[in-house]
Amino acid sequence: MTRLEKISAMLRERQLDAVVVTGGDNLVYATAMPGLEGAAVVAADGEGWLFTDSRYIEDATNRVAPMGWHVVMPEVGRPYTACVEQVVRDKGVKSLAFEDLKMTYAEYQKYLAAVSCSLVPVGNAFELLREVKEQEEVDCIEKAQRIAEKALDELYGLIKPGVTEMEMAGELEYRMRKHGSGGVSFSTIFVSGPKSALPHGVPGDRVVQKGDFIVIDFGATYNGYGSDMTRTVAVGEATDEMRKVYATVLEAQKRGIEAFEVGAVGKDVHNAAAAVIEKAGYGQYFGHGLGHSLGLLIHENPRASRMSEDKFKVGNIITMEPGIYLPGRFGVRIEDMLYLSPSGKVNLTKMPKELLIL
């Protein structure tokens, strides 16, 4: 089933005539064209229109039109709202869905004034469609992950006492680009020593020292889809406590991975990992959720967290990233991406995760 067909089926299920998609990740999802800007309308009968400008029209004509879209560049000065209203009139649309979770209030007001039909919030309909990854999407995420792993493997040879966090973060991003990444999937985390206890710490001018733990959380992109991986390494040496915490986090991840399966509930998967950390005496130092989905955005649904009622199904991808963070001392996080494929559970992350001392 094409994405046009998936979206039109969603509209029929919700008894909506059409939906307007006004940009961002949902527009990229609908058209499978990364970086695209413009507006689109999909009708319940499967017909789709993409309106975009001169920056994208040639590429969109070559890439999007063959998938069944009408690709149109409006004349200069004609707003997208007027283009959408033309479709509304031509198709006899009575109920036009809009992205209430994405559209700004100002944009909503423009469409409200422009279209001659009712505007109906579509809620999380696109998010639900995007939860189940197509094989093409999984392939892109895997490609991004292979790029990230190659870059990290090279970075390991550069990490030593005397380098700075910012220097290493820059090297990692450069090497991902060199190996084919379209960019970073989120801001690179490379934090050392006491800063490794900051779950989302920002690389700075701190100099790496012997005996540091370093948390490296990063991702590459391929064709608009991102990867996400965390590895924690030690520099020169690791104390017994550091080794204990690392082993605890690794075991917690193992339990979370075992619990992740079709039909499992997000909070139960989280709790399977959290129980290991709690039993080891570090429960208060694991404050975030176990994992999240990803794709065109780095944080998507479904989730594996304390409160998540999400029920996992074939096609879901979830990160598994338990952590322990001891304030002012050190932190450990280990993160892989798991995929529920039609033939079973697959770990998309191939990078070794036994404790590495550089």
Domain extents in the chain: 3-130, 135-357
The answer to whether 190 touches 175, Cβ cutoff 8 Å, is no
The answer to whether 309 touches 265, Cβ cutoff 8 Å, is yes
Q: Which CATH number fits domain 3-130: 3.10.20.30, 3.10.129.10, 3.40.350.10, 2.30.30.30?
A: 3.40.350.10
**Which DSSP letter does residue 158 get?**
T
Q: Which residues contact 118 (CB under 8 A, 6 or more apart)?
A: 94, 95, 96
Q: Which residues contact 58 (CB under 8 A, 6 or more apart)?
A: none
pLDDT at 23: 80
Q: What whole-number distance in Å separates Cα of residue 174 and Cα of residue 172?
A: 5
CATH architecture of 135-357: Alpha-Beta Complex (3.90)
Identical fold between 3-130 and 135-357:
no
**Which DSSP letter does residue 283 get?**
G
Residue pLDDT tens, the chain, 358 long: 899 999 999 999 999 999 999 989 999 999 999 999 999 999 999 999 999 999 999 999 999 999 999 999 999 999 999 999 999 999 999 999 999 999 999 999 999 999 999 999 999 999 999 999 999 999 999 999 999 999 999 999 999 999 999 999 999 999 999 999 999 999 999 999 999 999 999 999 999 999 999 999 999 999 999 999 999 999 999 999 999 999 999 999 999 999 999 999 999 999 999 999 999 999 999 999 999 999 999 999 999 999 999 999 999 999 999 999 999 999 999 999 999 999 999 999 999 999 999 9
- Please give the single-letter amino acid code of residue 229: M
